[in-house]
Amino acid sequence: MSRPPIPIPQAPVPDAFRWRDVQLEMSLKPFYDTSDATREAVLAELFHQWLPLCRYSDSISIMFWIGDGSEILEFDGDLEREFEWGRYQGSANRQQWHPPPPAEGESAADHAGIDGGNPAADPDGLGLHRRSYLYRPEPARFTYRWLRDTVAAIRRIGAEITGKRIQVGETFDIGPEFAVSRFKFDWHREILCTSLQFAGKFIVCDGVLHADSRKYAGYPQGIPEGTPVGRFLGRQSRCLFEAVGFDFLWFSNGFGFAMDPWSLVGRIFDGQAYHPELSRDTAASLLQFWREFRAEFPPRWPVRTRGTNLGTSVDLASDASPIGRIYDEIPAVDAPVNSPWAALDGDFGIELAGWMSHIARRPGNAFRYRFYAHDPWWNNSPWLDRYDREPHDLFLPLSVARLDENGAVERPRDLAILTVDDACGRMPPIVPAEIIPHILRCRERGPDAPGPFVWVYPFDDLHRIALDEGRPGDVMWCDWVARGAINQGFPLNTVVDEAIAAARPEAIVGRVLVTPAPEPGTPREAAVRARLEAGFDTLLYGPLKPGSVFLETLGLRAAEPLAGDFDLELRAAPEGECLAGGRRLRHLDFLSGGGWSEAPAPGADPAAHRALGRRGAETRVALAARTLPRGARLAWLRGSLSSGEYRLEQPSPIVGPLLRPMPPEKFFAADRLARFAMDVFGWRAVVPEAAPDQRRPYLTAHRNRNGYVFSGYHPDATVDWELRCPLGAPLPEGGWNVLRDGRTLVRGATAWQRDVRVFIEGQTEGRVFCRYQPSIGHGVSLRLLLTGLKGARVHFLPVSGTEDTLTILRDPVFPYLAGRFEPTLARHTPEGSVITIENVEGDLLFSW
């Protein structure tokens, strides 16, 4: 007689691991036929594969990429009707799309844009960007009734397997990529954009429909002439959601936030000049879209958003995007997620800066992180090929945090996986098996306090300047400078809205505040000045306009604004930094908030001006710093933006979507000066050796349980870091650390993340071992062993809550119960709780 199994108590989910919602995105490709058996098998496999992650979430969302949203636009209410879906690999509408001719001076490759490919490189038109291919012979044909039954099956099977609340969502995309769309490219081309780069390819949200006599679910008598896109989409979405049972809608590829969301240019910025006279009407049109849409599609159905690929200041400058007013006025709209840009070209600067700029002020009570596992359209799976199974796009974004209205640190509480299936309809089990452990580890050691550098983001000021005052060129630079700094290794991964920083200054004590230079005579200028007087270290960036109080503070004067090329003079480059490459610096005034006017003031201390630009008799300051009388340290970076697309000898519009770098063998990247400014605040991150064209490493630094967590991505693993912090040389746990001139060498890994609780001074050379050890003792949870110390002063950051149980043993001998124990008296510092042990030789063991 067999005994019943002994019940094992289910451990509660630790708060550190908990998600509010896990969103698993999928196409219809895994459903090779419409049988009940296939549906049941696919859904069971889906939930079982991702169950180790789903158990840590309050709810599970399945988000369908059915097609491109045309299944919404064309729905006529008949559930037996078949719908077009994304059964292709490659550009689904290339055969149906009728592109306008290239503009004067535009190359065929640039004109091809998002889905046109390069005709010169593919003369026979065989590539995925020139045509589409069915993903398998004779794909299934789906009806709306099948879709309704599948939504019901998802809820049933998901609840049975996970025990969680299940939601199901639908997607709407603006472009020509995912599924053949009669509505966009045959029936109603009048709603497609006419922009410089993507003319005839994307729906614009302020489009107006011509009359149409076809039957639609929301318009059974046809579409009346002049129906706004927002009204039509809202009503059609409501009809489909009521008929099929969806719970939420996803707006893809920037829809609702810009007219040309894949481009740097837009209705306001044409790539060379701004048209502020269009700002007010454009912003009103975007907001009106949301009002029209929500009037037909009530807030019982939330809208989740991708947002643009760029940042808030860029969206304001190029397209007058009133993102803050959308947040304030339109109910049940999520803040945009991080864009998948880094998966495409490794530009983590735009991914992190853009995301932080969108969540600095966010609606609702959570924001979402999204990871790019598979691409179900373009026959690539980023985790397996683009990332080569390296978790840098987990480590870096999951170090991001924002401060909420109470000054508390907030991590993303919602998670999305794009997608669980690949372009062949497969769901490789190895992908969730490899990704989930990294996600859980990132959550376990995620940020719980502001990082060392906090981006104080002037969300309201940017809207005021760009929209209310009609000065878009005066905000364009804000996010671009931050993007460039991150791309050069500046560890900027905590953001707080300026209004919260003003209301909760105690939340950012001991941090370096990074913020755009305020305009003269504004309340924000007074707030920045007050924080400096209160002792807050600050890095300002951007133009200091005539009348700015910080001109005199930094020994500067307002001179004639200049643009173009300058010879760069570095007076205070960080010790150890490789300076190979060009020494010319290009300043484009229309990208950089105006001409370069900040010049040395007569009698100013030359040591305060750390980098200069010279052209003939003219001198301009690129980086300045000084310590103020009350002890606060102030640095200022001008931020000179440029682009390889724009030739001074033959000006041409900057189309984007990114600012392309200047040739590094001739030009110095002004973005590097942000990392050089870290020296002012006791931080040093130098690249000791690299060729001009080698990409520099990325670095983020966040706090966890009183310690640090450093995360890095080396696009070129042959390029090393040398790091030093205010407490000394950091010793990342995990093995041997090499010291050079008091800095720690970090090398050899494409993606890495390490706890840092130990810093040393006094010992400038040698190899020091730092690694967690098994506890091997009752009442001990973990030990940390240091080996190879030579007269070192050791600073240790104890794990929060372990101060009473901590022991520190010199020259430890197993079982670590006797010997030379050190006092564990901690002192409070800007770095947190710190214990210092002097003159250590040999080994040191921390146990708690």
pLDDT at 3: 61
Helices (H), 171-278: 182, 229-244
> In the listed set 681, 712, 742, which residue is the last one of a domain according to the structure?
681
Distances (CA, A) of 423 to 28, 241, 590: 10, 26, 42
Residue with the two structure tokens 């300002």? 540
Note whether 723 and 677 are same-domain residues.
no
- CATH code at 547? 3.40.50
Residues 6+ apart with CB under 8 A from 280: 320, 467, 470
Q: What pLDDT sits at residue 7?
A: 60
d(C-alpha 446, C-alpha 401), whole Å = 9
Give me the domain span that covers residue 494. Answer: 453-681
For residue 1, is it within any domain? no
Within this chain, do residues 746 and 674 fall inside the same structural domain, yes or no? no
Q: What is the CATH classification number for the domain harbouring 162?
A: 3.20.20
464 plus 431 within the same structural domain? no
With the C-alpha atoms ordered 383, 386, 387, 388, is the resulting torsion angle positive or negative?
positive
**Domain contains 35:** yes
Is residue 6 one of the residues assigned to a domain? no
Residues 244 and 310 in one domain: yes
pTM: 0.95
Dihedral of the CA atoms 724, 729, 735, 739 (nearest 10)?
Answer: 90
At residue 150, the 3 state secondary structure works out as: helix
**Letter for the amino acid at 732?**
P
Q: How far out from the chain centre does Cα 497 lie?
A: 16
Confidence at residue 200, expressed as pLDDT on a 0 to 100 scale: 84
Q: pLDDT tens, 538-557?
A: 999 999 999 999 999 999 99
DSSP class per residue in 27-88: ESTT--S--HHHHHHHHHHHHHHHHHHHTTEEEEEEEEE-SSSHHHHT--S-TT-B-----E
Same domain, 440 and 459: no
Does 347 lie in the same domain as 252?
yes
| pLDDT per residue as tens digits for the range 443-484 | 999 999 999 999 999 999 999 999 999 999 999 999 999 999
Same-domain check for residues 437 and 499: no
Q: Tell me, yes or no, whether 13 lies in a domain.
A: no
Residue 306: the pLDDT is 96
pLDDT at 830: 85
Looking at the domain assignment, is residue 689 inside a domain?
no
Could you tell me if residue 693 is inside a domain?
A: no
DSSP sequence for 528-583: HHHHHHTT--EEEES---TT-HHHHHTTEEEEEEE-EEEEEEESSPPTT----S--
Q: What does R_g of the chain's alpha carbons equal in angstroms?
A: 28
Q: Are residues 329 and 424 in the same domain?
A: yes
**Shortest CA distance to 731 belongs to which of 698, 761, 774, 696?**
761
Which residue in this structure is represented by tokens 């508390």? 408
As a residue count, the chain comes to: 848
Task: Say if 4 falls within a structural domain.
Answer: no
Spatial distance between the Cα atoms of 655 and 572, rounded to a whole number of angstroms: 35
**Distance between CA atoms of 541 and 535, rounded to whole angstroms?**
19
pLDDT at 196: 63
Torsion of CA 474, 478, 484, 490, to 10 degrees: 140
Claim to verify: residue 737 and residue 626 sit in the same structural domain: no
Judgement on whether residues 571 and 501 belong to the same structural domain of the protein? yes
User: Are 435 and 457 members of one domain?
Assistant: no
How many domains are there within the chain? Answer: 3
pLDDT of residue 342: 77
Q: Residues in the chain with pLDDT < 70?
A: 1-13, 95-117, 196
Same domain, 341 and 394: yes
Residue 478 lies in a domain: yes
Among 444, 478, 510, identify where a domain stops.
Answer: 444
Q: Which of 419, 444, 469 is the last residue of a domain?
A: 444
